[in-house]
Amino acid sequence: MIAFVREVSPELARCELSLIERVPIDAARAHRQHQRYAAELRTLGCELEWLPPLPAHADGVFVEDTAVLVPELAVMTRPGVASRRGEVDSVAAALARHLPVTRLDEPASLDGGDVLRIGHRLYVGVSGRSNAAGVAQLGAALAPLGYTVRAVPLSGCLHLKSACTFIPPEVLLVNPLWVDPAAFPGTVPLAVDADEPHAANTLTVGGVTLVSSAYPRTQRRLEQAGIATHALEVDELHKAEAALTCMSLMLERA
């Protein structure tokens, strides 16, 4: 597995926010937390590929939003806020060294954080960042490779992966107030703790599910379900409306 990552911008405090109140962000602390995150990915067997720094792009560390990856193709997105579209080209250049690349075009908008892949099915959250044209263009790009793309209604959260993530082989960790678990057939839903509504965003690598240390009750639910977990401190990055999947693009080796 290759994990594409980018360092935290010193301008992180100017990040785009949609649903949470802006509070002061310590960019140096966020940088340290991100470094530990990257180190954990390496420990779990990922080969890290560092993307060029973009110090002027406050949200540049959140590389997940710039592309949708399947083993055969990289689909470069058109992020839903204009300030982030300058992040895409450097990611495209890095990905092009590994696999073919295609792009979404206007009027599409789509953030990678809205896309959840389960095998050959991709679910796209209908959010403030991803529109119907983005869903349609993604589907057209991936259909020749045998993938299906389906839109999923959301409410109350930024991205689909704010509301749910998939933990192989079958668990869907989900906040059922934000997305209907029935939209994901063949999965076994496991609800987050009611007092931790943002806890559904996890990242599973090498058989270990990474969780934010801010959500210990949900972590206990995962452990009780037989899922191996490891907690990471990323609370400074949460202030930028971010979570674990946001900070990497994961490419399976062919």
Catalytic residues: 159, 246
- How far CA 174 is from CA of 24, 86, 92, 194, 231, in Å, comes to 29, 32, 31, 11, 18
Phi, psi dihedral angles at 39 (to 5 degrees): -65, -35
Query: Distance between CA atoms of 48 and 39, rounded to whole angstroms?
Result: 9
User: C-alpha angle with apex 193: 192 to 197, nearest 5 degrees?
Assistant: 70
Q: Residue type at 64?
A: E
Query: Distance between CA atoms of 176 and 172, rounded to whole angstroms?
Result: 11
DSSP three-state, residue 249? strand
Nearest to 15 by CA among 233, 195, 247, 174: 247
| Cα 14 to the center of its chain, rounded Å | 20
Query: Distance between CA atoms of 72 and 150, rounded to whole angstroms?
Result: 19
Nearest to 240 by CA among 162, 166, 142, 131: 162
DSSP H or E run through 149? strand 148-153
Spatial contact of 60 and 242, defined as CB atoms under 8 Å apart? no
